[in-house]
Amino acid sequence: MASSAYGSGAQPLVWQPHSLQELHYMREQLQGTWCYAAGATLLRTQWEAELKALPQHLVSLSCIPEMSGITIQEDQMVIGAMTRLKACSASPLLQQLPILCEAVLAIAAPSVRNLATIGGNIVSGIGDTLPALLVYDANLHWMTRHGMEIQPVTDWLLGGRDRGRSAEDVLVSIHIPLNRADSNLTSQACGSPDSERKRAIAFYRKLGRREVFTASLVTVALFGEINLENGRWDRIAIAAGGGSGLAMRLTEAEKLLQSGRADAAQAPMLAAQVMAEFITYTDAFATEEYRKQAAGNMLGAELWQVLH
């Protein structure tokens, strides 16, 4: 089904497939320039700023039921790429992933979250959910010309600015293994044997030019588990990103923490390692050095606070 977009002048045709099968057939038939549209909050700002040209066709993904909703499938949390950010933040299931919930609530204003989707935030390549998804070891499920493909978020980001994917590929869902998420924070209240031997540490922080409703300068996330029997990290995942820079796992910082006992004395060492390892950029709002230092300070200070 196609309809004309509103407004005056030459406008794109808007196509609305109602299934993944229909979407696959439709994109094979389109002639001329086209792109996918989810909430279109980022696309609209790019068109208005003339950073991108308006295409001849928009393929809306909003009517495809397989791409919306949040479910538990075996040992994974499955989030449809078209799930609105507002629905993500309100989902009882997603409360099992508090780092991701915090990231979602830190994005833009409520009116934007009513429209914007988690898939759109991800495929922008610079979304504030990416550090959270990195520490949760999330996988992305893509529908390609050759069928469905599964790709870890880490690998996708390592593809660089174009992330190595065809413009025709569409993100269908995000899969997060619950045994790598901090769902055990819930089980601690139940007094399970495993929870009595481990302590989960999880946090997400965003630094912007003002307190709310602003683009990020730096975002950081950390998830780890401390073995209470030996006082060491059983597992640790740390990520940083923000602004128009690519988010990344800080694997050397993770190794540093795992090399010693988990205590507040690790905080200054973590801050220094993050500053050395984080790859970021300079723009009109902040220098590369400032972003590196901010990321290190945020991670170090938060770790000191929770372990002191």
CATH topology of domain 66-177: 3.30.465
| Averaged pLDDT, 223-239 | 96
pLDDT above 60 for 250: yes
Where residue 191 falls (left for φ over 0; alpha for ψ -120 to 50; beta otherwise) is left
- In tens, the pLDDT along 286-295 reads 999 999 999 9
The residue among 262, 205, 195, 217 whose CA lies nearest residue 235 is 262
Q: What pLDDT score was predicted for residue 118?
A: 95
Q: What pLDDT score was predicted for residue 82?
A: 93
Q: What pLDDT score was predicted for residue 33?
A: 83
Q: Which residues of 85-97 are buried (b: 16+ CB within 10 A; e: fewer)?
A: bbbbbebeebebb
Q: What pLDDT score was predicted for residue 10?
A: 60
| Averaged pLDDT, 140-155 | 93
Would you say the C-alpha torsion 50, 52, 56, 60 has a positive or negative sign? negative
| Averaged pLDDT, 152-167 | 79
More confident residue, 203 or 57: 203
Q: What pLDDT score was predicted for residue 308?
A: 85
- In tens, the pLDDT along 47-63 reads 776 767 778 888 889 89
Distance CA 141, CA 278 (A): 27
pLDDT band, very low/low/confident/very high, at 126 (cuts 50, 70, 90): confident
pLDDT band, very low/low/confident/very high, at 190 (cuts 50, 70, 90): very low
pLDDT band, very low/low/confident/very high, at 239 (cuts 50, 70, 90): very high
Report field, pTM of the whole predicted structure over 0.85: yes
pLDDT band, very low/low/confident/very high, at 242 (cuts 50, 70, 90): very high
- In tens, the pLDDT along 77-104 reads 999 999 999 999 999 999 999 999 999 9
CATH topology of domain 198-307: Enolase-like; domain 1 (3.30.390)
Kindly list the domain boundaries of the chain, sorted by start residue.
2-60, 66-177, 198-307
- In tens, the pLDDT along 8-59 reads 456 788 889 999 999 988 888 888 787 887 876 666 776 776 767 778 888 8
Q: What pLDDT score was predicted for residue 186?
A: 37
Q: What pLDDT score was predicted for residue 3?
A: 53
| Averaged pLDDT, 152-157 | 94
Q: What pLDDT score was predicted for residue 185?
A: 43
List, in order, residues 6 or more apart from 237 with CB less than 8 Å away. 134, 135, 136, 137, 180, 222, 223, 224, 249, 254
Chain-wide mean pLDDT for the chain?
86
